[in-house]
Amino acid sequence: MLRKEWPLILNTLLAQAAAGIFLFLAVNHLFIVNGVQHAAALQIYQAGLVLVGPIIALAMLLSLFHLGKPFRAYRAMTNLPSSWLSWEIFFSSGFFVLWLACFWLDQSGISNPYLIGLTGLAGIFNVISMANIYTTTGRPGWAGIGTYISFLGSMFIFGSAGAALLLAQDAGMNPSALALASKQSWLVLFILVVELVLLYRSLSRLKASLQETSMDQLVSSSEMDEEELRKYGTISICGWTLSLAGVGLLVYIVGIFPAPNILLLFAVLFILCGEFLGRSAFFSLGMGKQ
Amino acid sequence: MKKKRLGMLIDLKRCIGCHTCAVACKAHNNLPNEIWWNQILTYGGKSMDTPKGTYPNLEMQFLPLACQHCEKPACVKACPTGASYQRADGTVLMDYDICVGCSLCIMACPYKNVRQYNEKTPQYVLDFPVGNSNVNEQQKGTVSKCVFCYNLLDQGESPACVDLCPGKARFFGDLADKDSEVYKLLEKRKSMQLLTERGTKPSVYFLI
């Protein structure tokens, strides 16, 4: 299953992680303006900034493994007028370049809010472009708002987890940052609930389509049988449950900071496994019978 | 002058599921061992060549399927390099020299297996090419599909599958030309198309 798609699974997750972590840390940094706490938020932002670039670079590198001709990859940005894949490559490259600029300026002690904002936007547009690649294929498992919620949801989930991890390193326990992290975690929890509703709708729609027996069904590239739908649907739900457990744990951890590191480790592990399972099921449900 | 739109008609009442079209296509285009641009599906039972239902109420229909050369091809729109492109006459072609093998065209295409990915270095049963010398050579790591034998079209001939069908089930021509055989047949006979709700406007019609 998904022998050819594993680079895409990792590429999408890592790119969303990079965008999410940058977004959450940038928000903390730009919106916590109280003197001492601002300095602490800046420290957390700087620590996280080091992670973001390598993560997005790794995401882009992994995507090359999906190509049959990776040395021709430079051509993949040539159809910007119509191809969302070209836009995704544009925004991911742009996000990396802008991150580099933020990182370099930060090393010189300069923090430009406009540049940080632009970088955050590039990350978000990268995630939206990714979602557009799949929704515009028209495949029943991918079409609709569910894909956007899933991709943006992953971005927020990883961002929340990344921010919490970095906060946990802050011995000073910045109250404003903690309050913001708490709000962010609750927001992510809400997104997960919305994700479940949309996942249920998508799976129901797919199940209903299996009842049709027509020539259209026979020739459709997203043909699937009941057993496969049951299998990937179960994997989706398991993935969602693990992510929910991870985010739920995060909400609890942020509420009781300082928390034992083992709890944070479990939260991150649940999230990583949950998101990986969910994304694998996403690709399987869209690709149909392999 | 109305824009040319090449298309194909397949008469399902004549198709006997012999797979001659699939073999003709494979031979003419020098397709590697694992690649078949033309597939003959069976609408009926779970396996090929089996009907559905219980005797005497049985139902079975052969359904030849290849690239539908859509008027609004989703593959062309999705392709990030322009390797998948559409000619002025409506045929959708592939440029293997700029294809990066991302397979997004396969994901975007509504139809099953009409586009195929050359996972391995092309290997052939015979040690020499049996088809035409002016077909583009298959490349490992790229996607290929039916190209309406455009090299034959450019010489004023018909695609290999049309010429060799023993049941004379295939017709080819300009769908926009009122004097063409395909236009007249569409006016005279009932027809259907596949997955029209996807909005790609296929250029292949099935006479029923």
Nearest-Cα residue of chain A relative to residue B113? A221
Chain A contact for B108 (CB, 8 A cutoff): yes
Name the residue facing A69 among B101, B111, B192 (closest C-beta).
B101
Percent of chain A exceeding pLDDT 90 equals 48
A287·B107 Cβ contact <8 A:
yes
Q: Which chain A residues have any C-beta within 8 angstroms of a chain B C-beta?
A: 4, 66-70, 72-73, 75-79, 82-86, 89, 133-134, 136-139, 215-216, 218-221, 223, 286-288
pLDDT digits (tens, 9 = 90+) for B23-52: 999 999 999 998 999 999 999 888 889 999
- Give dist(CA B53, CA A90) in Å, integer: 53
pLDDT at A237: 92
Q: What is the mean pLDDT of residues B73-91?
A: 96
A107-135 residue pLDDT tens: 998 889 999 999 999 999 999 999 999 99
* Residues A15-45 pLDDT 10s: 999 999 999 888 888 876 555 567 777 778 8
And the tokens for A170? Answer: 């802050």
Contact (CB<8Å) A69/B141: yes
The two tokens of residue A126 are 């990268």
Put simply, the answer to whether B112 touches A82 (Cβ < 8 Å) is no
A87 class by beta-carbon count within 10 Å (0-12 exposed, 13-18 middle, 19+ buried): buried
Give the whole-angstrom CA distance, residue B43 versus residue B64.
10
Q: Which residues pair with B41 in a beta bridge?
A: B63
Average pLDDT of the segment spanning A281-289: 83
Nearest to B81 among A78, A220, A288 (CB): A78
Q: Does B189 touch chain A (CB under 8 A)?
A: no
Residue of chain B nearest A133, judged by CA positions = B78
The confidence score (pLDDT) of residue B159 equals 96
Cα separation of the two ends of chain A: 7
Question: Among candidates B69, B63, B87, which has minimal Cα distance to B14?
Answer: B63
Summarised one tens digit per residue, pLDDT across range B153-192 is 999 999 999 999 999 999 999 999 999 999 999 999 999 9
Contact predicate A4/A282, CB 8 Å: no
Look at the block and give the residue holding tokens 């544009």: A90
Mean pLDDT of the B77-106 span: 96
- List chain A residues with CB under 8 Å of B195: 216, 219-220
Report whether pLDDT(B144) > 90: yes
The pLDDT value recorded for residue B171 is: 98
Q: Locate the chain A residue with the closest alpha carbon to B103.
A: A67
User: Residue A237: what residue type?
Assistant: I
Q: Give the closest of A139, A215, A287 to B194, CB-based.
A: A215
Question: Under an 8 A CB cutoff, do A68 and B117 touch?
Answer: yes
Averaged pLDDT for residues B73-97? 96
Residue of A nearest to B61 (CA): A215
User: Rounded to two decimals, what is the model's pTM?
Assistant: 0.91
